[in-house]
């Protein structure tokens, strides 16, 4: 699962994963099934129907609402662990100020706010809360283990696509960072060093 952060390249990564023949990517880019549905257990059939079922496929989706704490499901990681304790997560980060500005432009251009950037930062809690990367990702690490949470830097992702566009469109190396111990926080693993081999298959 790509769990965020919002405006940190999740769409770019999702598009790259969709292009890989081993991946069955959710047909809805951000289903937010676990983040916005309190009665998720009764709707699992509908959720699973969003994926093409293939033998041996890696199932993936991207829901940035997974790291909107405390605005969405406050027990999300526990629900996800109940659903599948073998899940693995990818969390993208970028310069915090750049993320905030991009978030502001996103909501301003869509008419969700007429406030200035400065006012939006002061009055819209999500602007800062979504940028508290450590606080957002730590519950996933504590619940699932550090080896199941891969943290990527937005600029590593973008730069690699510029330098090797053919490779980036079919990423064969996406998760060797799983299992590497390193400080929890804004902690980037190079996109080039990642490997497909260790992404978990859904039972």
pLDDT band at 182 (very low <50, low <70, confident <90, very high): very low
The answer, yes or no, to whether the previous bond of 70 is cis (omega within 30 of 0) is yes
Quick one: DSSP state of residue 171?
Answer: -
Structure tokens at 78: 């526990």
Distance CA 51, CA 31 (A): 11
Q: Over the stretch 121-139, which tens digit does the pLDDT of each residue have?
A: 999 999 999 999 999 999 9
Fold of 10-198: Rossmann fold (3.40.50)
> Residues 49-69: what's their mean pLDDT?
95
Q: Is 109 left (phi over 0), alpha (psi -120 to 50) or beta?
A: alpha
Break the chain into its structural domains and give their ranges: 10-198
Residue 55 has pLDDT above 50, yes or no: yes
Distance CA 150, CA 180 (A): 9
Greatest Cα pair distance in the chain? 51
CA-to-CA dists, residue 53 to 50, 58, 187, angstroms: 9, 10, 33
Distance CA 95, CA 98 (A): 5
pLDDT band at 167 (very low <50, low <70, confident <90, very high): very low
Which pLDDT score is estimated for 159? 79
């Amino acid at each position: 699962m790509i769990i965020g952060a919002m405006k940190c390249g999740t769409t770019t990564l999702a598009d790259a994963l969709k292009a890989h023949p081993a991946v069955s990517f959710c047909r809805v880019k951000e289903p937010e099934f676990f983040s916005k549905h309190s009665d998720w257990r009764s709707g699992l059939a509908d959720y699973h129907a969003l994926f093409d079922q293939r033998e041996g496929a890696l199932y993936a989706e991207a829901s940035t609402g997974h790291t909107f704490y405390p605005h969405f499901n406050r027990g999300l990681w526990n629900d996800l662990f109940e659903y599948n304790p073998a899940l693995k997560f990818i969390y993208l980060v970028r310069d915090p100020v750049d993320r905030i500005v991009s978030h502001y432009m996103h909501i301003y251009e869509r008419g969700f706010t007429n406030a200035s950037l400065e006012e939006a930062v002061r009055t819209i809690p999500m602007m800062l809360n979504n940028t508290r990367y450590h606080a957002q990702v730590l519950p996933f690490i504590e619940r699932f283990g550090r080896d199941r949470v891969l943290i990527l830097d937005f600029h590593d992702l973008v730069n690699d696509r510029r330098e090797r566009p053919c490779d980036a469109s079919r990423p064969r190396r996406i998760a060797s960072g799983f299992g590497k111990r390193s400080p929890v926080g804004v902690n980037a693993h190079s996109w080039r060093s990642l490997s497909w081999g260790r992404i978990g298959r859904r039972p």
